[in-house]
Amino acid sequence: MKRLGILLSGRGSNFEAIADSVAAGRIGATIAVVISNRPEARGLEAARERGIDAVSIPSKGLDREIYDRMVVGELRKHEVDLVCLAGFMRLLSAYFVREFPLRILNIHPSLLPAFPGLDAQHQALEHGVKVSGCTVHFVDEFLDHGPIVVQTPVRVRDDDSAETLAARILREEHRIYTEAINIVLSGKWRVEGRRVIAEG
Ligand code: GRF
């Protein structure tokens, strides 16, 4: 059984969607550990309520690589095969990325490469796009940047606020994160340049 490690900084709804998929047998893996850089993250509490190991590793004031060594150590301790960033508000160092080559996923609430970074749903509204969506991608050391595994569109409505758009995108996030994890765990893919190609 493959072992997932979840990194989060806040609410943790993507973590809960993944945990629901694991519990329902839609993902054939276990969640070995949930780690947060913010001790107060709601996602940590949600993990504990589900009986999943939840570890707080505060990042405040620490050099990026020193911090990442602590997180990688915790992931290794739990023998994690695939790392899933779920609202983890930190850039990973090149060291971290090298430790888990093509074994780190992130979810982002836009159709990348549009609107990377913070407040992607707000950025989409400000730009006036008619379609936004969400993306699950492999993580490299650049912001919201690595090869794309799954994307799905969400229509922008004339009466949308950042909140209503974010809520519709979030429902799709919860669905495609499970899909992307299953693709990656199946091992039936390869990366050519920036493209993730399904095999078989
Ligand atoms: C999600 O919108 C995700 O795409 C972004 O951060 C948010 C995290 O939400 N990276 P949650 O903590 O999973 O509820």
Query: Which tens digit of pLDDT belongs to each residue from 53-79?
Result: 999 999 999 999 999 999 999 999 999
Q: What CATH number is attached to the domain comprising 63?
A: 3.40.50.170
Q: Please state whether the peptide bond connecting residue 113 to the residue before it is cis, i.e. omega within 30 degrees of 0.
A: yes
Give pLDDT < 70 ranges for the chain.
Answer: none
User: Given this model, what pLDDT does residue 121 score?
Assistant: 98
Same domain, 146 and 88: no
Query: Final residue of a domain: which of 101, 127, 151?
Result: 101
> Which of the listed residues 37, 67, 101 is the one where a domain comes to its end?
101
Q: Are residues 112 and 152 in the same domain?
A: yes
Task: Please tell me whether residues 86 and 157 are part of one structural domain.
Answer: no
The pLDDT of residue 142 is 95
At residue 179, φ and ψ (nearest 5 deg) are: -60, -45
d(CA 56, CA 52): 13
In Å, what is the CA distance from 12 to each residue of 20, 63, 128, 132, 134?
12, 25, 28, 22, 16
What pLDDT is attached to residue 79? 98
Number of domains in the chain: 2
CA of 12 to the centre of ligand 1 (A): 7
Residue 13 CA to ligand 1 center (angstroms) comes to 7
- Does the annotation mark 78 as catalytic? no
Task: Give me the percent of the chain exceeding a pLDDT of 90.
Answer: 99
Query: Chain-centre distance of CA 197, in angstroms?
Result: 20
pTM score over 0.95: yes
Q: Of 151, 146, 149, 104, nearest to 131 (Cα)? A: 151
Question: Which domain does 166 fall in, by range?
Answer: 107-200
Query: Which atom in ligand 1 lies closest to the alpha carbon of residue 169?
Result: 2
- Strands (DSSP E) along the chain, which ranges? 2-8, 29-36, 54-56, 82-85, 104-108, 131-138, 148-155, 189-192, 195-198
DSSP state of 114: S
Whether residue 65 sits in one domain with residue 49: yes
Residue in 63, 62, 85 with CA at minimum distance from that of residue 145 = 85
Q: Are residues 89 and 184 in the same domain?
A: no
Write down the pLDDT at residue 58: 97
pLDDT in tens, 94-125: 999 999 999 999 999 999 999 999 999 999 99
Q: Do 4 and 84 sit in the same domain of this protein?
A: yes
Residue nearest atom 5 of ligand 1, based on CA coordinates:
87
Q: Provide the pLDDT for residue 69.
A: 98
Q: Whose CA is nearest to atom 1 of ligand 1?
A: 87
- What's the pLDDT at 16? 98
User: Phi and psi dihedrals of 52, rounded to 5?
Assistant: -100, 140
Q: Are residues 111 and 192 in the same domain?
A: yes
- At residue 200, the pLDDT reads 77
Token couple for 165: 């758009």
**Statement to judge: residues 72 and 146 lie in one domain:** no
Q: Is there a single domain that holds both residue 95 and residue 153?
A: no
Per-residue pLDDT at 189: 98
Report whether residue 93 contacts ligand 1, using a CB cutoff of 6 Å. Answer: no
| Residue 173 CB less than 6 A away from ligand 1 | yes
Residues 25 and 89 in one domain: yes
Which residue type does 137 have? Answer: H
79 lies in the same domain as 94? yes
- Is the C-beta atom of 133 inside 6 A of ligand 1? no
